[in-house]
Structure 1
Amino acid sequence: MDIIDRLNGDHRTLKQFLAVMNEEGASDVARRRSLSHFKRLYYAHSVAEEMVVYNALEGRMPQWNDLAHIGHAEHNVATELLTRLSEAGEEPAEDWDHDARLLEEIVCGHIDDEEAEMVPAVQEFFGSADRASMIDRYDRAKKIALTDLSEDPAAQTASASS
């Protein structure tokens, strides 16, 4: 297993949570539970991905600065939508549905872009041993992000790229 497997696994899980949040006929309880799980994983994943993968690719490919800037911006937009969804009342309303659909579009598009552009770059620039060692740094960064999230409720609404 290497960092690409870990990223792709997180991506699949994030998409599953988004699907439940947007599933027609899903209960409000199931949708909110998925939001809660999504939010924790998304925050930890975004922080770790930026710290480990984005930073590792910095300066290695000419278009990386543009791709990283877009990635940071998409993380920030998704974080804002998560804040709005989290702060909505107990009964999700039409606005909640719109925000959840927009979140799904942004995050799934972001994931698709990363898998099309970032993953091949990681494969090109890092050997299998380097990619395997990136998992440890990635997992540590996720753990720290989750600890920060648990200890500081304000971190739940802070931008993942701060």
Structure 2
Amino acid sequence: MSSTDVVELILKDHRRMEDLFRTMRNAEADRAAALEEFADLLIAHASAEEDEVYPALRRYKNVDGEDVDHSVHEHHEANEALLSLLEVEDTSSEQWEEKLEELVTAVNHHADEEERTLLNDARENVSDDRRAELGQAFHKARAQYLESGCGSVENVRKLVAAASG
């Protein structure tokens, strides 16, 4: 069975997002399909973190609550960048390339920072058993979001509107 360690599951999603970025940068690839998978993954991943992982990490005194708040803020920024890309119709246009790079920058910055702060803190301060429990909760929430088509342009619009409201 694959690991249920929440840190490993989050890292696995981050690597998958990087793979999808490579696909979306490739003019020969099915960019629209890659974007669809990416949108679902990004929203499901971030939503599951906010629902299940971040509230739990906040309770550890050696995990910086400001890092958690900052990560939530970066999720909103990534959602805005995602929405901008989803709203570009032509995947071969220069506008698509520009919006893709904005999304790549936002997501990679967040993933890198999260890996250096929250995930390292979680590795050091959260027991293996608790990380496994959090991993199961994260995985379950993520699966429910994925089933709901959470990466649709309509849903991403709602999320962006709610965050800026």
TM-score range, shorter chain: 0.7 to 0.9
Tell me by how many angstroms 1:144 deviates. 2.0
1:30-69 deviation line (CA, Å, top 9, x unaligned): 2222111110111110011112221111142477332122
Which position in structure 1 is the counterpart of 2:19? 16
Kept in 1: contact 2:6–2:135 (CA 8 A): yes
| TM-score normalised according to structure 2 size | 0.84
**SS of 1:149 mapped into structure 2:** coil
Q: Sequence identity, in percent? A: 25
Structure 1 gap segments, 5+ residues each = none
Q: Distance in 2 between matches of 1:147 and 1:158?
A: 17
Taking structure 1 as reference, are residues 62 and 119 closer, same or farther at Cα in structure 2, changes over 3 Å only? closer
Which position in structure 2 is the counterpart of 1:37? 37
How many aligned residue pairs are there? 158
Amino acid at match of 1:87: E
Q: Distance in 2 between matches of 1:63 and 1:9?
A: 21
Kept in 2: contact 1:82–1:157 (CA 8 A): no
Out of 8, 14, 32, the position equivalent to 1:5 is 8
Kept in 1: contact 2:57–2:63 (CA 8 A): no
Which position in structure 2 is the counterpart of 1:101? 101
Taking structure 1 as reference, are residues 131 and 63 closer, same or farther at Cα in structure 2, changes over 3 Å only? closer
Amino acid at match of 1:31: R
Kept in 2: contact 1:79–1:158 (CA 8 A): no
Q: Distance in 2 between matches of 1:157 and 1:149?
A: 13
Q: Distance in 1 between matches of 2:117 and 2:141?
A: 23
Tell me by how many angstroms 1:73 deviates. 1.7
Q: What root-mean-square deviation, in Å, do the aligned CA atoms of Structure 1 and Structure 2 show?
A: 2.3
Kept in 2: contact 1:148–1:155 (CA 8 A): no
Q: Distance in 1 between matches of 2:153 and 2:107?
A: 23
Kept in 2: contact 1:58–1:65 (CA 8 A): yes
Taking structure 1 as reference, are residues 42 and 138 closer, same or farther at Cα in structure 2, changes over 3 Å only? same
1:87-132 deviation line (CA, Å, top 9, x unaligned): 2123442221111011111111111111111111111221111111
| TM-score normalised according to structure 1 size | 0.85
**SS of 2:86 mapped into structure 1:** helix
**SS of 1:19 mapped into structure 2:** helix
Q: Distance in 2 between matches of 1:81 and 1:37?
A: 16
